Amino acid sequence: MSHNKTTLQPDAVAAPRLNVCSLAVAVRLVAAGALFAVPASYAQQAAQGGTLELDATAITETITPADDAVTEGTQSYTTRSARTATPLNMSLRETPQSVSVVTRQRMEDQDLRTINDVVNNTVGVSMNRYETDRGQINARGFKLNSLMIDGVPTIWEQPWSSGEIFGSLAMYDRVEVVRGANGLMTGAGDPSASLNMVRKRASSRELTGSVEASAGSWDTYSTMGDISMPLNQAGTVRARLVGEVEDGNSWIDMKGNNRQTFYGTMDVDLTPDTTLWFGLSQQDNEAKSPAWGLLPVWYSDGGRTNWSRSKSISADWSKWDTSTDTYFANLEHTFANDWRAKVGYSYSERNSDSYLMYPNGFPNRATGALEGSFAGYNGGAYKVKTTQYDYFAQVDGPFQAFGRSHDLAFGYSYSKQKFDADTRGYIGLGAGFDFNSNFGHSIPEPDWGGLTDSDASKTTQEGLYAATRLNVADDLKVILGARNSNYKKDRMGSKLEAKNEVTPYAGVVYDLTDNLSAYVSYTEIFLPQSERDLSRKQLEPIVGESYETGLKAEFLDGRLNTSAAIFRIKQDNLAQSTGVYIPNVAPQEFGYEGTDVTSEGFELEVSGELAEGWNASAGYTQFKVRDADGHAANTIYPTKLLRTFTTYRLPGALDKLTIGGGVNWQDSIYTYAINPQGGSEKVSQDAYALVNLMARYDITDNLSAQLNADNLTDEKYFDMSDSFGGLTYGAPRSLTASAKYRF
């Protein structure tokens, strides 16, 4: 891990800015709605007498196919369709890949507030937090670097990232996770999974909303408001505003966070068949005394440490402030033949300002002095700005051939990211502090210098894609697709480029019964790499291949989904050092050669309504990851995962009470790191389980109170870095009480 880099994050706006800008944004949205409301002649006609009913019916008939995927208000743990795996509108049963959906109801029941929360409660994926404010999502033994918003891929710079894992979910209806290679929709990435965050829409034609307040462990307080409203009598112009503020401390000494989120969006029905959807979001995260690095595993004498979970490696002057402003607009039109066209644009600007401290070395057990090579404390301060542009266009619909109806979709996406990082210096702070004490309160803040260039890059990715679902027979469906991608990254004089990379998609679904289907699929993804071979030639991109077969079933009219899958994932041409320097290259550089890494395993999942008032989400994943020599690879990621949660609304006189709970279990993980004596030593975390409970009571039809308890047994566990011997402890037992009023 490099310690001279900071990161960027989608998380928010400073406190005064939120108060002022959010009000201004709300005014602008309402004003824009008024402008759209006046010229909408058809809407005016619809508002007159009985014509209103006719127009409302017409609009209902032209709702976009994706609307049946909305989870808000369904009280469900599943959804009827998803578009993360393909651009086609298909149910989970019809999709020949493993797909999980974290619905709005699950977020509320489990009090899932961030991406980190969702990942740690989703089948087949996990989070490795290597610092307090950074982490790596992974699935099926590989890193996850495919982030999508509303089905559109976006570039995610993981090495410099900060705060994405703590980004608020207040503005999202659901999070869809498709596992395996997903190059058809995302272009470049690893064959792990894709995370698709789907925004809330302004769909209500009447005034609705909610207000929620909560208080929890470590003096954490949060308030959230969500209001939807029509802006004209016909309801053809609709707006939605979402705001959330959270402030609190942590189980770690000095650590605290202040997060603020604002989201505003509008839907404008220009005609019964055409909708303009646009909006913006502002997110801010002020991280106080974040960790930059990890707690050491060893004392200087080689003995293992056992720190309190409250142990901090930060300073009281350290901070990491990040903000993200996003603007987007989409236009959707449904034709008379049920074909649909949509185009969209999104602009995001992420800013980060950090003042950090990094301790290096092994503490003396008696004196607390840091020992070893380069031992001491160092400060680093960085200012990072990232701008991102995303464009997309897609057309999809049915067509007739050979006496049957089929589906076709094709589209184009383009992403451009400009990244710039400046530094105020990397400054040595000395080594004469007692690491075993609360040293962070006694280390003075250095005198920072002016900003100078540290890092810069420009990354572009574009792709043309097409997919079709052929109804070969009543019980047999074949899904075929492909994407042609171009990728280019310029960074500080170096270039990384991949042209005309084709990623195919193929799947077959056969209906065994009215409720049960068997499927098989093959998908690909690619990832450019900068390493060179001994002849100084850049290695070809890594190719990820996913093979999957399984069974899927749906019951209770789609309210319950089950699946069983067997998968094999292979990463070809992954760079591996030869240990030999490239001839005639200065400075000296090791040559690399391509190797393979393979993941094989199975997965089981149940999600939805087991009976009236009884929701459940449960899944188990198990796999093995091996390198070309048959040795275990990527051992820092858990290879066995259990994710369960269920809620039950009591019957009869107790029907105002809902109780729930679940267990998240993972197998042991390990890595090897250099100990104080210079040898390689295994660092491992044993298997552990986290028990979570909830209870909600409906005080009135509109008002409810809820209590959540996480890590009820107070399990002590940690995540680690595979770069060096360090660890970050997970959260101890915590309680959160909340009250929510709906209107």
Q: What is the pLDDT of residues 229-246, one digit of tens each?
A: 999 999 999 999 999 999
What is the residue-wise DSSP string for 380-437?
EEEEEEEEEEEEEEEEEEEEEETTEEEEEEEEEEEEEEEEEEEEEEEEEEES-S-TTS
d(CA 180, CA 525): 9
**Please, is 512 exposed, middle or buried when counting C-beta atoms within 10 Å of its C-beta (0-12, 13-18, 19+)?**
exposed
What beta strand segments (E) does 254-369 contain? 256-271, 274-288, 295-296, 319-334, 340-363
Per the structure block, which two tokens stand in for 174?
């659901």
SS3 205: coil
* pLDDT score recorded for residue 134: 86
Residue 22 has pLDDT above 80, yes or no: no
Per the structure block, which two tokens stand in for 714?
């107070």
* pLDDT score recorded for residue 133: 87
For residue range 511-538, list pLDDT tens digits in order.
999 999 999 999 999 998 888 888 888 8
d(CA 709, CA 693): 5
Pairing of strands 256-271, 274-288: antiparallel
* pLDDT score recorded for residue 196: 94
Q: In the 8-state DSSP scheme, what is residue 8?
A: B
* pLDDT score recorded for residue 431: 85
* pLDDT score recorded for residue 601: 97
Q: How confident is the model at residue 582 (pLDDT cuts 50, 70, 90)?
A: confident
Q: How confident is the model at residue 300 (pLDDT cuts 50, 70, 90)?
A: very high
d(CA 462, CA 411): 11
Which of 398 and 590 is assigned the larger pLDDT? Answer: 398
Q: In the 8-state DSSP scheme, what is residue 541?
A: P
SS3 87: coil
Residue 135 has pLDDT above 70, yes or no: yes
What's the pTM value of the predicted model, to 2 decimals? 0.88
Per the structure block, which two tokens stand in for 34?
């008024």
Pairing of strands 147-149, 193-199: parallel
Mean pLDDT along residues 607-624:
97
For residue range 360-373, list pLDDT tens digits in order.
999 999 999 999 88
Residue 8 has pLDDT above 50, yes or no: no
724 CB-near residues (< 8 Å, 6+ apart): 1, 294, 673, 674
564 CB-near residues (< 8 Å, 6+ apart): 550, 551, 552, 602, 603, 604, 605
Nearest Cα residue to 554 out of 606, 504, 493, 483: 606
* pLDDT score recorded for residue 41: 37
Task: Count CB-CB contacts under 10 A for residue 337.
Answer: 9
Mean pLDDT along residues 507-511:
98
Q: How confident is the model at residue 163 (pLDDT cuts 50, 70, 90)?
A: low
Q: Percent of the chain, pLDDT > 70?
A: 89
Q: How confident is the model at residue 32 (pLDDT cuts 50, 70, 90)?
A: very low
Q: How confident is the model at residue 595 (pLDDT cuts 50, 70, 90)?
A: confident
Per the structure block, which two tokens stand in for 477?
């469906």
Residue type, 398: P
Q: How many angstroms separate the first and last alpha carbons of the chain?
A: 49
* pLDDT score recorded for residue 161: 60
In this structure, what are the phi and psi dihedrals at residue 72, rounded to the nearest 5 degrees?
-60, 130
For residue range 650-705, list pLDDT tens digits in order.
999 999 999 999 999 999 999 998 899 999 899 999 999 999 999 999 999 999 99
d(CA 316, CA 269): 52
Please name the residue that has the structure tokens 């603007």: 327
SS3 197: strand
Mean of per-residue pLDDT scores for the chain: 88
Q: How confident is the model at residue 723 (pLDDT cuts 50, 70, 90)?
A: low
For residue range 398-424, list pLDDT tens digits in order.
999 999 999 999 999 999 999 999 999
Mean pLDDT along residues 537-563:
94
In this structure, what are the phi and psi dihedrals at residue 482, rounded to the nearest 5 degrees?
-160, 155
* pLDDT score recorded for residue 157: 59
Residue type, 663: V
Q: Which helix (H) or strand (E) holds 34?
A: helix 15-37
d(CA 39, CA 161): 44
d(CA 124, CA 602): 10
What is the residue-wise DSSP string for 502-518?
EEEEEEEEEESSSSEEE
Q: How confident is the model at residue 432 (pLDDT cuts 50, 70, 90)?
A: confident
d(CA 209, CA 229): 8
Please name the residue that has the structure tokens 């800008």: 21
Per the structure block, which two tokens stand in for 339?
């074909």
Strand partners, 336: none
Mean pLDDT along residues 431-446:
92
Mean pLDDT along residues 491-511:
93
Nearest Cα residue to 289 out of 312, 260, 258: 312
* pLDDT score recorded for residue 156: 64
61 CB-near residues (< 8 Å, 6+ apart): none
Residue 426 has pLDDT above 60, yes or no: yes
Mean pLDDT along residues 79-107:
95
Mean pLDDT along residues 483-505:
92
For residue range 383-397, list pLDDT tens digits in order.
999 999 999 999 999
